[in-house]
Structure 1
Amino acid sequence: MIDFHCHLDLYPRPAEIIDQAQRMGIGVLSVTTTPSAWVGTLRLARGRSVIRTALGLHPQLAEERKNELKKFELHLGETRFVGEVGLDGSPVLRSTWAQQKKVFEHILHACSEAGNKVISIHSRRAATPVLDLLDKFDSVRFPVLHWFSGTHSELQRAVERGCWFSVGPAMLGGAKGKALVAAMPRDRVLLETDGPFAQLRRTALHPWDIGLACQSLSDVWTTDRAEAERVIRNNERLLLVDEEWADN
């Protein structure tokens, strides 16, 4: 199975995490927060068949790193995967909102032009504006809403737009997260950890902790873990058709 949203480069000892994931056969989408991090993060995955690296520009850094959009465009052809990108409507980021929107719109336009990109999207307190922009770029085929925390009506809109959803142990640890996951189409759910930022019992999550999310999913779906794993693996193959990565 695959951890569809993990910040490998931000662990204190990333090489150890990568080695363990490789030994366990756990796939990892290694998301980046700035285009400047792309080259170094891609280097971490060298020779590791379970790792794919995503090119990102995190909304929390949009204001100070907007000058890196040219670098984003430079590297976009080197990967099918984009992330972490999106919008963040938290009060502390209100002053950067206009720049966030410009940056995210620029990224979606670039992805629309490039075609066939899988995009891991941040939408905290910003689900409706994110969906508004996704509607504007309707040729973006594979948006994956990471740790979705919007309303149920926003969730329904995202489903109708064709979004996928990556969910993790931290999200599934609360009542709201479980209720949202229960309402998601099972055939569009993927796993994530958001490590090392996301924690469980004050300990950073690691890629192999997607197993905890799978166990929680089986409870939400009122099925056994083997069936939950079967659904997740099938979803990975559907999203990543013709890619060997989904068969790890």
Structure 2
Amino acid sequence: MIDFHCHLDLYRTPHEVAEEAHRLGVGVLSVTTTPSAWPGTYRLSEGRSTIKTALGLHPQLANERKHELRLFDRYLPDATFVGEVGLDGSPEHRSSWSDQELVFDHVLRSCEEAQDKIVSIHSRRAAGAVLDSLDKFGGIRAPILHWFSGTRAELRRAVGRGCWFSVGAAMLAGAKGRALVHEMPRDRVLLETDGPFAQVNRNALRPIDVAIACRSLADLWSTDYEDAELMIGKNERTLLRLSTEKLDPTVDPDR
């Protein structure tokens, strides 16, 4: 299985967490919050074929890091995956909204022009605005809405737009999260941890904890763990057909 949204570089012991995931065969999409973090975070994947690094500029940092868009453009040709990017409408970040929109539009335009990017998107309290932006850039082939928390109407709109959804144990622990996931098409659901920020029982989730989310999905889908794991594996292969490289080289996309 693959952790499709993990801040690998922000763990207290990132090399240890990266090695654990690689040793156990767990794929990781290691997202970054700033383009300047890309080179150092990328080094965590060296010698670890199951780990790929996404190039990002987090909306909560748009105001102070928008000047790093030049670095984003420099590194983008080397990045198949982009994230964490998006919009954040939380009260404490509304003052930077114009900068968030500037950064997100730049990112989406660049990804659309490149044609081969898979994008992991933050949409907290901004799902409608994120979908408006995606409508402007219809060439984004496989947008993944990370930890989606919008309304049911926004969820239906996202499904119609062709969005995917990465869900984790922390999201599935709450009633709202479970209700939203229950309405997501099962063939568009992926796993994530959002570690080290997301926690279960006060412990930061690690990539291997995608298994916790898979167990929760099995319960939500009224099936057993093995069937849920098979569905997730099929989804991963379908999504990765859209990219030019695979997170896990052992995955046969035609299987």
Aligned counterpart in structure 1 of residue 247 of structure 2, from 241, 245, 248 = 245
Q: Is the 8 A contact 1:28 1:50 kept in 2?
A: yes
Q: Which amino acid aligns with 1:36?
A: S
1:78-97 equivalences under 5 Å are 78-97=78-97
Q: Which amino acid aligns with 2:81?
A: F
1:93-132 equivalences under 5 Å are 93-132=93-132
1:245 shift after superposition: 2.9
Q: Which amino acid aligns with 1:245?
A: L
Q: Is the 8 A contact 2:29 2:247 kept in 1?
A: no
* % identical aligned pairs: 65
* Partner SS for 2:112: helix
1:151-162 equivalences under 5 Å are 151-162=151-162
Aligned to 1:201: 201
Cα RMSD (Å): 0.9
Q: Which amino acid aligns with 1:105?
A: D
Separation (CA, whole Å) in 1 of partners of 2:191 and 2:175: 18
Matched, 1:76 2:76: yes
Q: Is the 8 A contact 1:3 1:29 kept in 2?
A: yes
Aligned to 1:185: 185
Aligned to 2:30: 30
Which ranges of structure 2 fall in alignment gaps of 5 or more residues? none
* Partner SS for 2:78: coil
Aligned to 1:150: 150
Aligned to 2:212: 212
Q: Is the 8 A contact 2:28 2:247 kept in 1?
A: no
Q: Which amino acid aligns with 1:16?
A: E
Q: Is the 8 A contact 1:116 1:142 kept in 2?
A: no
Q: Which amino acid aligns with 1:195?
A: G
1:94-124, Cα deviation, whole Å (9 max, x unpaired): 1101110111001000000011211000000
Q: Which amino acid aligns with 2:44?
A: L
Separation (CA, whole Å) in 1 of partners of 2:246 and 2:33: 26
**How high is the TM-score relative to the length of structure 2?**
0.96
Q: Which amino acid aligns with 1:84?
A: E
**How high is the TM-score relative to the length of structure 1?**
0.98
1:135-191, Cα deviation, whole Å (9 max, x unpaired): 000011110000000000000000000000000000000010000000000000000
Separation (CA, whole Å) in 2 of partners of 1:240 and 1:18: 21
Q: Is the 8 A contact 2:55 2:82 kept in 1?
A: yes
1:79 shift after superposition: 1.2
